[in-house]
Structure 1
Amino acid sequence: MSELHKTFAKSKLAKLPPDVPMYDETLDEARDEEGSSASSVSSTGTLVPSPTHHLFARRSQGTSQSLAWTDFFAQELFLSEEVDDLHIIHHIYVTPPTDSGPLFVMHHGAGSSGLSFATCADEIRKILPKAGFLSIDARGHGRTVTVPISEKLDQDSPSTAAVAQTEATCQVELDLRLETLSRDLVYVIGQAKSKLGWENLPDIVLVGHSLGGAVITDVAKNGELGPKLLAYAVLDVVEGSAMDALQNMEKYLSTRPTRFPSLASGIEWHTRSRTIRNTTSARVSVPSLLYEESEPSDGSRPWVWRTDLSVTKPFWENWFIGLSRKFLDARGGKLLLLAGTDRLDKELMIGQMQGKYQLQVFPEAGHFVQEDQPTKTAQVLVDFYRRNDRSALVLPPKVADMQAAAAMKKGTGAADKNNQLK
C-alpha cells in the first residue's frame, strides 16, 4: 500500500468511533514479508494479526454463527474400509449431478476439510445447475475417522456421536503420504459410485486446494480415472513456493492460537485474522476444523483443532516435490488458479509461455481463493469445464462422407434434369 493510501485510510478511520481499531502499518509489512510463505503448505496459513485487531472482541450478532453443511450439499456419506490394520470411515459431502452433468471432485488442503468448498460448490450450482459435487474429508481431517481394527466402529451406523468420540480419544499414527491420499481419493470415488447406484462415473473435473492440489495432480498423472477425467484445477499451490514455505511453517504454527473459548470465537479468529476473508465461507467451513474437548485441559478454552498440523511435518516435502512437472505432464485440461503471480516457479512460467495450461490470478484473494472469492472461482471453474466438455464438441464431417454426399447430390440433380427433359 502506498503512503498516499495509508494517509487516506488513517484520516478516514480517525473519524470512526474509538472502539474501531486504527490501521496498522505492520499488517502490510507482514504481508510483504510473508507473502505466499506458509500459506502454500498449510491451508490455515495467514498473517499473525497485531494486538490492535481484537480477535475475540464482540462482533455483530449472527456474523459468527455456524452454518449447516446441508445448506450447501445434498447428502453426506460414510464409506468404511479396512486397510493396513486400520479401520477407516471416509467422510464425504455429495450432491449428485443431473442430466449427464459433470462431477466436480474436490480435495481440501492440510488442516482444512471438505467444507472448504461449500460456498464455491453452491455458486457453481447456480451457474451450472446440472453439476454434481463430491468433496472429501482426508485422513485426519474433518469427520473422517481412522482407528485400529481392534477398535472398529459400527460400519452400518457411524453416528455423529461415535465419530466425535473417536476423533477426540483415539490416537493413531496417520499415514499422510501423497500416494496414500491419492489412493484414498480414487477409492472414495469408486465407493461413491457404488453407493449412489451410478452405472458409470460422470465426467469428472478434479479440483484441489493447496495439499489437495498435489493430490489431484498425482491422481491425474497416474491416470486411474481413465477417460472419465476431463480436466483438473489446482488452487493456489505450486512446487517452488510451497518448498520455500516449509522453512516458515513451524514458526507460523507456533504463532496461531491452539485453543478457543467457543466455536464462534474460532470463526471470528479466521475472519479477523483474514485467514478466510469471506464471512459466509468461514461460518460453514471453520466448525469442521474444531471440536470441543469433553475433558479440556483449559476449561476456559475447550475448543481445539481437529488436525494437529505439526504432526504432518514428516510429509511436507513428499507432498510437493515434483508437483510442477506432474501438473504439466498429466493428461487432461489444466487450470492453475493463484492468489498472486509471485507464486509461479520457473517450470510453470515456461509452461505458461508455451500455452500448456490456463492461468487465472485473483490478487484480491488470500490463500483460500475458493472461500475468499467463491463466485469468481465458481465462474472460472464452470468456464474451464465448458472448454473441456467433450459432449459440447461438434466435429466436422469426414472427407469421405462429404464426397459421398456430393456425389449423391450430383446424381440426384442429373436424374431430375433427365425427368424434366422427358
Structure 2
Amino acid sequence: MSALQKSFAKSKLAKLPLEPPNGPSMQPLDEEASHDDDSSSVSSTGTVIPSPSRQLFARPGRGSLQQTTLPWTDFFAQELYLTQINSSDNTKITHHVYLTPPVDPTAGPLFVMHHGAGSSGLSFAACAEEIRKIIPKAGILSVDARDHGSTVATSTAVDAEAGKVPLDLSLDTLNRDLVFVVRETQTQMGWESLPDLILVGHSLGGAVITDVARKGELGSKVLAYAVLDVVEGSAIDALQSMETYLLTRPSRFPSITSGIEWHTRSRTIRNKTSARVSVPSLLYEESAPFDSSKPWVWRTNLSETKPFWENWFVGLSRKFLEARGGKLLLLAGTDRLDKELMIGQMQGKYQLQVLPEAGHFIQEDQPTKTAQILVDFYKRNDRSALVLPPKVADMQASAAMKKGFGAGGLGGPLKKA
C-alpha cells in the first residue's frame, strides 16, 4: 500500500463511531436489583451508574428505624411497683423495677442489677436479654433508683409543698432501698426464700451493691457481686471534671429520637439497640416548657446530686476487697485501677476483666460480652455445682470400716483404726 493510500485509510477510520466495549451493558442499579448472582467477578466489571433514588453515600440510620424506641417488654417479662413508707421522715417511695423471674426461684440464679447516676434500670436491658440466651433459667431484677426512671419519692406530710421531698441519694439510703426492693420482690412474687443472688452494679450502682455485700443485709444468698467500670481512685478524680461535662451536654431535646441520636453520636452509648431501649427512660416531656421546640428534658438532674458524689465512692476499694463472696471487676481500661485494687489483683483477691472496646457504659456498649462474663462468673461461684472433698473424719471412719470388713467379714467384729 502506498503512502497516499495509508493516509486516506487513516482519515476514514478516524471518522467511524467507536465500538461499545466488551462486557455487560451499563444498566442503572436500582433497589430491586438481585444480589443472589453467582457469576464471577469478571462479569461485573465496568462502571455502575446508580439510579437517582439510590443514595450510595448517604449516612445510614438518619430518619430510619435505627433511631426509634424499643419497648421494655422486649427485654423483661414484667414490671413491679413496690411501695415503701418511711414514717420517720414522712416519705413514700414507689420503687419501680423490671423483672424476669428465675424458672426455679428456690435455686436461681437471680441477677440483681443497679444502674449508675442519671441512668435507669433499662441500662441493663440488652445485657439481660443476652444473659437469658445463655442461661434460660436465670432471673433478672433491674431497679430504678430513687429519683431515676419511674421510681418516685413523695412526702406524706400534710404541710409538704406539692408532695416534694428533699433529694436523698446518700449511699446509706440507696443501700436500704436496694435491700427493700429485693425483699419486697420476694414477697410480691410469693417466693419462700430468696434465690441465689449475683449483685451487679454499674458506676454508682457498683458502690451501692458493694456496700450491700459488705454489710451483709441479704445474708448468705449473695453468691458474688460484680462492679462495672468504677474504682475509688479514678471515680474521685473524675468528679473534678463532672460539672464541666454536665455543662457540655444538651439540657433538652426536641424529641426522644433526637435524644437517642445524641447518645449514639457522642458515643456516650455505642450500641444503638441499647440506646433505643434505655434513653427514653432518661427523659420526660414538660407540660409547659419554656422552649416549646425542645420539650424533652432529663428526668434526673445530675447537678443536684453533687452533695453526694464523694460519699458514693470514698472507701469503695477497701469495701470491695473486704466483702464476702466472689468478686468481679469489669473495666473498660486498666488505667482505671487504683493502687489498692492493683495490689489486690496481684494477690488474686478478685477477678479482673477488661473490655477496651467499650466505653463507660460497658453493659450497653458490649451487652453480649458482658453477659458471657457475668454468666461465667456466676458458674464459678455456683455452690450447687461444687463437689466438696470428704471430711478427714469421714475418710478415717470409712477406712476403719473397710479394714474391719476385710478381717472379720460382714458379720465379724470391727477392729479399731
User: Which band: TM-score by shorter chain?
Assistant: 0.7 to 0.9
Q: Structure 1 residues 189 and 418 mapped into 2: Cα distance closer, same or farther (>3 Å)?
A: closer
Write 1 or 2 for the structure with the bigger share of helix: 1
Judge conservation of contact 2:77–2:99 (CA < 8 Å) in 1: yes
Q: Which residue of 1 aligns with 2:347?
A: 354
Q: What's the secondary structure of 2:401's corresponding residue?
A: helix
Q: Which residue of 2 aligns with 1:269?
A: 262
Judge conservation of contact 2:270–2:364 (CA < 8 Å) in 1: yes
Q: Which residue of 1 aligns with 2:136?
A: 129
Q: What's the secondary structure of 1:146's corresponding residue?
A: strand
Q: State the distance in 1 between where 2:61 and 2:110 align.
A: 40
Q: What's the secondary structure of 1:366's corresponding residue?
A: coil
Q: State the distance in 1 between where 2:158 and 2:350 align.
A: 46
Note if 1:92 corresponds to 2:85. Answer: no
Q: Which residue of 1 aligns with 2:45?
A: none
AA paired with 1:76? E
Q: State the distance in 1 between where 2:99 and 2:201 align.
A: 16
Q: Which residue of 2 aligns with 1:385?
A: 378
Q: State the distance in 2 between where 1:179 and 1:114 align.
A: 20
Q: Which residue of 1 aligns with 2:46?
A: none
Deviation at 1:391, TM superposition (A): 1.2
Judge conservation of contact 2:108–2:197 (CA < 8 Å) in 1: no
Note if 1:106 corresponds to 2:113. Answer: yes
Q: Structure 1 residues 151 and 281 mapped into 2: Cα distance closer, same or farther (>3 Å)?
A: farther
AA paired with 1:292? E
Highest RCO, 1 vs 2 (Cα 8 Å, sep ≥ 6): 1
Judge conservation of contact 1:101–1:202 (CA < 8 Å) in 2: yes
Q: What's the secondary structure of 2:65's corresponding residue?
A: coil
Q: Structure 1 residues 411 and 258 mapped into 2: Cα distance closer, same or farther (>3 Å)?
A: same
AA paired with 2:119? S
Trace 1:137-216 onto structure 2 (pairs within 5 A).
137-150=144-157, 171-216=164-209
Q: State the distance in 1 between where 2:400 and 2:178 align.
A: 54
Q: Structure 1 residues 185 and 411 mapped into 2: Cα distance closer, same or farther (>3 Å)?
A: same
Q: State the distance in 1 between where 2:163 and 2:409 align.
A: 86
Q: Which residue of 1 aligns with 2:281?
A: 288
AA paired with 1:145? V
Match for 2:73 among 62, 70, 75? Answer: 70
Note if 1:228 corresponds to 2:233. Answer: no
Match for 1:404 among 393, 397, 402? Answer: 397
The sequence identity of aligned pairs, in percent, is 74
Q: Structure 1 residues 18 and 125 mapped into 2: Cα distance closer, same or farther (>3 Å)?
A: closer
AA paired with 1:260? F
Note if 1:315 corresponds to 2:320. Answer: no
User: Alpha carbon RMSD of aligned pairs, Å?
Assistant: 2.2
Match for 1:250 among 243, 251, 255? Answer: 243
Q: Structure 1 residues 17 and 71 mapped into 2: Cα distance closer, same or farther (>3 Å)?
A: closer
Deviations 1:30-57 (A, max 9, x none): xxxxxxxxxxxxxxxxxxxxxxxxxxx9
Judge conservation of contact 1:139–1:174 (CA < 8 Å) in 2: no
AA paired with 1:96? P
Note if 1:367 corresponds to 2:360. Answer: yes
Deviation at 1:297, TM superposition (A): 1.3
AA paired with 1:59? R
Note if 1:118 corresponds to 2:129. Answer: no
AA paired with 2:66? T
AA paired with 1:125? R
Q: Which residue of 2 aligns with 1:53?
A: none
AA paired with 2:141? L
Deviations 1:284-310 (A, max 9, x none): 100100111111111111111100001
AA paired with 1:104? F
Deviations 1:105-135 (A, max 9, x none): 1100000000001111111111111111111
Judge conservation of contact 2:156–2:163 (CA < 8 Å) in 1: no
Deviation at 1:414, TM superposition (A): 4.8
Deviation at 1:405, TM superposition (A): 2.9
Q: Which residue of 2 aligns with 1:61?
A: 64
Q: Structure 1 residues 398 and 296 mapped into 2: Cα distance closer, same or farther (>3 Å)?
A: same
Judge conservation of contact 2:91–2:165 (CA < 8 Å) in 1: no
Q: Which moved more, 1:390-399 or 1:372-381?
A: 390-399
Judge conservation of contact 2:127–2:364 (CA < 8 Å) in 1: yes
Q: What's the secondary structure of 2:66's corresponding residue?
A: coil
- Higher Cα radius of gyration: 2
- The TM-score with structure 2 as length reference comes to 0.81
Deviations 1:175-200 (A, max 9, x none): 00011001100111111111110100
Deviations 1:299-351 (A, max 9, x none): 11111110000100111111111111111111111100000111111111111
Structure 2 residue ranges without an equivalent (≥5): 1-54, 413-417
Note if 1:302 corresponds to 2:295. Answer: yes
Q: Which residue of 2 aligns with 1:8?
A: none
Deviations 1:230-252 (A, max 9, x none): 11100000111111111111110
Deviation at 1:409, TM superposition (A): 3.5
Deviation at 1:88, TM superposition (A): 1.0
Deviations 1:349-384 (A, max 9, x none): 111111111100000000000000001001111111
Q: State the distance in 2 between where 1:67 and 1:329 align.
A: 40
Note if 1:217 corresponds to 2:210. Answer: yes
Deviation at 1:400, TM superposition (A): 2.9
Deviations 1:55-113 (A, max 9, x none): xx971511011111111111111011122211110001111112312111110000000
